[in-house]
Chain A
Amino acid sequence: MPVTPRQALRLVRPLAPAISWAPIAPAGGLALLLVWLRAQDAYSGPEELIVALRAAAILLAVAAAFALDDAAAGTTASTPSPLLLRRTVRVALVALPTTALWAGALWLAARKPLPEPSSLPVALLSLELATIIMITLALAAAVIRWGDSNSGGLAASSALLGLTVLTWLIPEGVRPWVYPGEPQWAAAHRWWAVALIASLAWFVWAGLDPRRRRRPQGPAGGGLGTGRRTRQTTGSGAPVQGPACREARQRAHFRP
């Protein structure tokens, strides 16, 4: 069934209070503080500012990682709105303060006068931010799909920090953290764009509703004892537990 913008707008109200907003304010504040400190430092040049902006991007991604965590995943799985739509609305809601904070960080960085040939590559740094956030969200979606629907943020933010260290350790020629003027600058950002598209594709795939439980064979097409027992899952793909499990059983029992 096609999804209308109206449907998405209607989801804003119930989903907004369900999002973990708590990490965004401290992470954003810390990100702005970092960039401001660097911009104030008389000895820092464009490279130091870029380092601070990248640290700010990682902080914002860590905060955004919790956007998909849903303690009520088992319950919301039975709502008619598709999982991907619910997740997209969540991400869009978190994107609003994140974009504002990033704009603030860029504004703080832009206030620092730089030597004439140097300028801040705002567009490409924003591409890096978008990629970092999208990779984090894709990781969170993967964790939720195969694990706990309420631990995606923690696992994804931890994985993001590990990835940051790992990418810092790889040899210089293939390291994604390059600076303007380096020969790899353009090529590295092509790879950033590829990573953005790949993580976006993964996010979409992980948000598709899992395959419906196979319909039991038989003339009536329903009823307990007529079909094979299959693993019950929530809309997020995680195994159904607790009240959601009971609810799923009831739905199976009273299938028309």
Chain B
Amino acid sequence: MTLSPTPTSIEALPQPTTSSVKARPRGRNILSDNAWGYLFLAPWIIGMVFFMAGPTLVSFYLSFTSFNLLEPPEWIAAKNYVRLFTQDGRYLNALRVTFTYVALAVPLNLAFALALAMVLNAKIKGLGIYRATYYIPSLLGGSVAIAILWRQVFGFDGIVSQALAVFGIEGSSWVSSPSQALWTLIILHVWQFGSPMIIFLAGLKQIPVELYEAASVDGAGPWRKFWMITVPMLTPVIFFNLILQIINSFQAFTPAFIVSGGSGGPLDSTLFYTLYLYLQGFANFRMGYASAMAWVLLVIIGVLTALAFLSSRYWVHYDDSAK
């Protein structure tokens, strides 16, 4: 994927092979391409200034202030940041909880997604039905309704504790246990492996069958084919899914809010980063502090994405010969 727009051209025709149609001055074209471009882009530019770039800069400024929405912001330099990392135990805990969540939920989710995609890719009958069924949790999973359901499923009398009781394991409420509550959220995320599975399926279809045939001729078994052909050929898709998942799961909010009843409990064990940010910014109205948290989040996501990109040259295999 290139960042700059590449012109799509039809080589067969003798016309100039640029993507843009040269506006021919035939009376009705009063505006230049420049003017048309900015006219079409006007809503986006306004949105960019007032809802995206502007707020991003304002947020950066506010992160150096103490601000409660009622009185004007008061400049306190880097005190918010210092406080975050040296005096705020709840914040450090939120960081730990979120990193644990991402580190467990994302790989597990992708592993399930890849495994199921492999199975479904084996020219199986009823592929459409299976794919649709496994996709349903992904479609509904982000909603408040599912989070409420999860709270009951893993709750005191929930079906999980009852099902475990059948096997003689003493039932208990997962959502009110500090050591287990985070697991309910991890399971909720892993449960939604349907959409990465669909992306993997699309990727698997791109792998040339000849590679497998050649490997079979050479006597390679299924396990060897998986590691020597499927995984290398699929690394761009794995990479894409990984980036997408990291960005999304760091910002998870709804499940933690609903399952913990808005508190991040028990004992802050499900206090997600964004939940703590919400509580500080919009329950305590410490908006400068919340802005500082938001910027640290931006840096964390940025660094992780950059690391993924930098490391990608060592493990992501792009098939250049095909082009």
Is chain B found bound to chain A in the same assembly?
no
